[in-house]
């Protein structure tokens, strides 16, 4: 599933081609996504100029003169630019055609993504209760420490809770906990303020590095230019269960936390 760095990579890739462009028409070949694409999307968006391409958590906000298209890539979705008239392949469900001669094409084999319309996107039910962005000053160790007091749940699902902080998905939670030396099974409420300060710093560092690397390609993800991300080469623990720890040489352990695979080093993390 594309996580925050992959979505930010996509945003950066498509933004230069969209901002300032006027939409010619919207072609919907299959509206059956996680939520149906609005039947009148072509009427709402055609003729409007794109003013900004923003991101909130893992949602892309394509802001037009009147209204905003909220996009989510789901488990296998991608957005890329193609010349208008490029024959669509299977699973290429939507084209947003621009006056430049390019089209923003949405592809989603599993159809778990979304393209929704809103006049107040930050108040939309999907976005209004989200926590702070991890790469802003609103997120830090103090927030993690204060919200974790009295919590018995494991620290990994705690930092993956979008009400605590957005965008820390399975890959980056796994890597940040390793970098901070924290066992993902530890009760969130048992971790000190100093260790949460370190964890917050590592979350910020790893997410920033992943964005600069173009995200992590594990299966389906490609960026807005159609190229894969390269952060996979930087992974220390995610997806490496049973292999040797790059730091200490011990065997990495794989367990399940919150119905997700979690890999950690029993020697480096406590």
Residues recognised as catalytic: 2-3, 58, 260
In this prediction, residue 229 carries a pLDDT of 42
Task: Please tell me whether 219 is known to bind a ligand.
Answer: no
Q: Could you tell me the CATH number of the domain that includes residue 102?
A: 3.20.190.10
**Average pLDDT, whole number, for the chain?**
92
In this prediction, residue 215 carries a pLDDT of 62
Q: Which of 79, 97, 123 is the last residue of a domain?
A: 123
Is 269 a member of any domain?
A: no
Query: Are 150 and 79 found together in one domain?
Result: no
- 104-129 pLDDT, tens digit each: 999 999 999 999 999 999 999 999 99
Q: Is the pTM of this model over 0.85?
A: yes
Please determine, for residue 100, whether its predicted confidence score (pLDDT) is greater than 70. Answer: yes
The structural domain count of the chain equals: 2
Query: Are 107 and 202 found together in one domain?
Result: no
The arithmetic mean of pLDDT across residues 73-100, rounded, is 96
The arithmetic mean of pLDDT across residues 141-147, rounded, is 98
Q: Does 6 or 23 have the greater pLDDT score?
A: 23
Query: Are 231 and 119 found together in one domain?
Result: no
Please determine, for residue 194, whether its predicted confidence score (pLDDT) is greater than 50. Answer: yes
- 199-233 pLDDT, tens digit each: 999 999 999 999 988 765 433 434 444 444 445 56
Is 132 a member of any domain?
A: no
Task: Please tell me whether 151 is known to bind a ligand.
Answer: yes
| DSSP codes of every residue in the chain | ---HHHHHHHHHHHHHHHTTPBEEEEEES---SSSPPPTTHHHHHTTPBEEEEEEETTEEEEEESS-EEEEE-TTT-EEEEEETTPPP-TTEEEEEEETTSEEEEEE-SS---EEEEESSGGGSTTTTT----TTSTT-SHHHHHHHHTT--SBHHHHHT-TTT-SS--HHHHHHHHHHHT--TTSBGGGS-HHHHHHHHHHHHHHHHHHHHTT-B-SSS---TTSPPPBGGGG-SSTT-TTSB-TTT-PBPEEEEETTEEEEE-TTT--
In this prediction, residue 121 carries a pLDDT of 97
Q: Where do we find the tokens 């992959």?
A: 6
The arithmetic mean of pLDDT across residues 26-31, rounded, is 97
In this prediction, residue 2 carries a pLDDT of 82
Query: Are 118 and 188 found together in one domain?
Result: no
Name which of 72-86, 127-141, 220-234 the model is least confident about.
220-234
Please determine, for residue 255, whether its predicted confidence score (pLDDT) is greater than 50. Answer: yes
Is 128 a member of any domain?
A: no
Task: Please tell me whether 29 is known to bind a ligand.
Answer: no
Pairing of strands 92-98, 78-83: unpaired
Is 97 a member of any domain?
A: yes
Is 23 a member of any domain?
A: yes
Query: Are 118 and 157 found together in one domain?
Result: no
Query: Are 257 and 152 found together in one domain?
Result: yes
In this prediction, residue 233 carries a pLDDT of 60
In this prediction, residue 232 carries a pLDDT of 54
Query: Are 182 and 244 found together in one domain?
Result: yes
In this prediction, residue 217 carries a pLDDT of 42
In this prediction, residue 223 carries a pLDDT of 46
Is 129 a member of any domain?
A: no
Query: Are 104 and 145 found together in one domain?
Result: no
In this prediction, residue 216 carries a pLDDT of 55
Say what percent of the chain tops pLDDT 90. Answer: 86
Q: Which of 93, 123, 153 is the last residue of a domain?
A: 123
Query: Are 111 and 166 found together in one domain?
Result: no
Name which of 15-24, 207-216, 223-232, 254-263 the model is least confident about.
223-232
Query: Are 110 and 155 found together in one domain?
Result: no
Query: Are 154 and 91 found together in one domain?
Result: no
Task: pLDDT band for 24, please (50, 70, 90 cuts).
Answer: very high
Is 136 a member of any domain?
A: no
Is 231 a member of any domain?
A: yes
Range of the domain at 72: 4-123
Query: Are 171 and 247 found together in one domain?
Result: yes
Task: pLDDT band for 234, please (50, 70, 90 cuts).
Answer: confident
Q: Could you tell me the CATH number of the domain that includes residue 238?
A: 1.10.8.50
In this prediction, residue 214 carries a pLDDT of 77
Task: pLDDT band for 253, please (50, 70, 90 cuts).
Answer: very high
């Amino acid at each position: 599933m594309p996580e925050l760095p992959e979505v930010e990579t996509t945003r950066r890739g498509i933004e230069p081609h969209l901002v300032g462009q006027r939409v010619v028409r919207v072609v919907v070949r299959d509206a059956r996504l996680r939520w149906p694409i609005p039947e009148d999307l072509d009427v709402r968006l055609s003729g409007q100029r794109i003013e900004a391409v923003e991101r909130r958590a893992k949602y892309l906000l394509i802001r037009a003169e009147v209204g905003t298209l909220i996009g989510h890539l789901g488990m296998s979705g991608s957005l890329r630019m193609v010349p208008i008239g490029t024959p669509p392949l299977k699973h290429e469900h939507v084209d947003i055609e621009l006056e430049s001669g390019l089209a923003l094409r949405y592809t989603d084999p599993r159809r778990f993504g979304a393209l929704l319309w809103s006049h107040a996107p930050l108040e939309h039910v999907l976005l209004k209760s989200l926590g702070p962005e991890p790469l802003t000053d609103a997120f830090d160790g103090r927030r993690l420490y204060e919200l974790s007091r009295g919590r018995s749940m494991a620290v990994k699902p705690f930092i993956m809770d979008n009400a605590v902080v957005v965008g820390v998905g399975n890959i980056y939670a796994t890597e940040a906990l390793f970098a901070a030396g924290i066992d993902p099974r530890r009760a969130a409420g048992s971790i000190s303020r100093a260790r949460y300060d370190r964890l917050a710093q590592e979350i910020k560092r790893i997410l920033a590095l992943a964005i600069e690397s173009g995200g992590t390609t594990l299966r389906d993800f490609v960026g807005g230019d159609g190229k894969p991300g390269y952060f996979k080469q930087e992974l220390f623990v995610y997806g490496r269960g049973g292999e040797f720890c790059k730091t200490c040489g011990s065997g990495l352990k794989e367990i399940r936390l919150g119905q997700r695979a979690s890999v950690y080093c029993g020697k480096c993390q406590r």
